[in-house]
Amino acid sequence: MKSPRDVRSAAVVINAGSRRGAAHELAVDTMRKAGVPVSAVHAVLSGGELAGTLDQVLADGHDLVVVGGGDGTVSYAAGRVAGTNVVLGVLPLGTANDFARTLEIPSNLAEACATIAEGKVVDIDLGRANGEPFLNVASAGLSVSVTEALSPRLKRYIGPLAYSIATVLAYARHKPFRARLEFPDGDHEPLELEDLLQVAVGNGRHYGGGNTVSPTAGIDDHLLDIYAILAGPLREHVSIARLLKDGSFIEHDRVYHLTSRHVRLITEPLLPVNLDGEIAATTPTDFTVQRNAVHVVVPQSSTSALFDGPGAADQPPK
């Protein structure tokens, strides 16, 4: 499918517990009026419901699945449709909506619905952490504490500012850790690091409410961006934080950055791993990239990814 206009049947799956999930009825009505053949609508309130519902809509043979929710919801859905011909539509109803930002999908609900009806289809890569999917960034260290400090109530009432507040709270209780990065493809020598604040592996371009993985990161470049931040005085972390928006923090002398298609992270002590805002893995963790794994509807004006066509995921790397 090269265009949403080729859709035969669409299913809509909404995380009703997301920050703007209550608006799903308006979104469905808007899409139908725009000509999207919505034949099934499901509102879910838990991860278990989401898994079962996605299995159902895929089994029902819909060729477009529109998912409304935050980055965690969309990442999980992407993992379910990866490697199939089903096209994913996105309604950014969460707090950060970094995946939508990467693909230039509008945060305005009416405009996002118009994208579903009038956009184009592109192929994107999917990150895997011990097999679990992520679209934006997977990380261990400070970011996990930030996620733990991010209550649904905080996100609902103050939106993206919740990330800043949670980061301050997490930083105050962070304990440095050690890590070893191994590269099974042999493109880099193993890297031993001590006294770390965070290690992150990026598949997409944006994370954390608008931060940039690196100036060259892309969601269809078939590479993972890996960075490690050393712990240090508060003033050093403030200087790094000021560079997060454009990704230039990777040039800071307390940051290690490299790219690869496969990296294994081993930490001491063992640590939980955050996948797009959900704690869904633990170290040691193998990170890989699944090329051209997901077909997504984006605005006609989006330049963040291309359509390589069916079977591209099985072709040799470019």
Catalytic residue positions, numbered: 278
Q: How many CB atoms lie within 10 A of CB 239?
A: 14
- Core vs surface per residue 257-288: b (16+ CB within 10 A) or e: bbbbbbbbbebeeebbbbbbbbebbebbbebb
Rounded CA separation 169/117 (Å): 42
Inter-residue contact 34 to 116 (CB < 8 Å): yes
Letter string b/e over residues 209-225, b meaning 16 or more CB atoms within 10 A of that residue's CB: bebbbbeebbbbbbbbb
Query: CB within 8 A of 198, min separation 6: which ones?
Result: 139, 140, 141, 142, 143, 228, 229
Give the H or E element holding residue 92.
Answer: strand 87-92
- Bridge partners (DSSP) of residue 12 are 41, 66
Q: Which two tokens stand for residue 222?
A: 């078939």
- Return the residue matching tokens 């469905």: 28
| Count of positions (residues) in the chain | 318
Q: What's the sign of the alpha-carbon dihedral 139, 149, 177, 283?
A: negative
Residues 84 and 63: their CA atoms lie apart, in Å, by 10
Cα separation values, 71 from 15, 91, 211, Å: 11, 10, 14
Give CA separation, 211 vs 99, 134, 204, 241, in Å. Answer: 11, 16, 11, 9
Q: Which residue has the tokens 């590479």?
A: 223
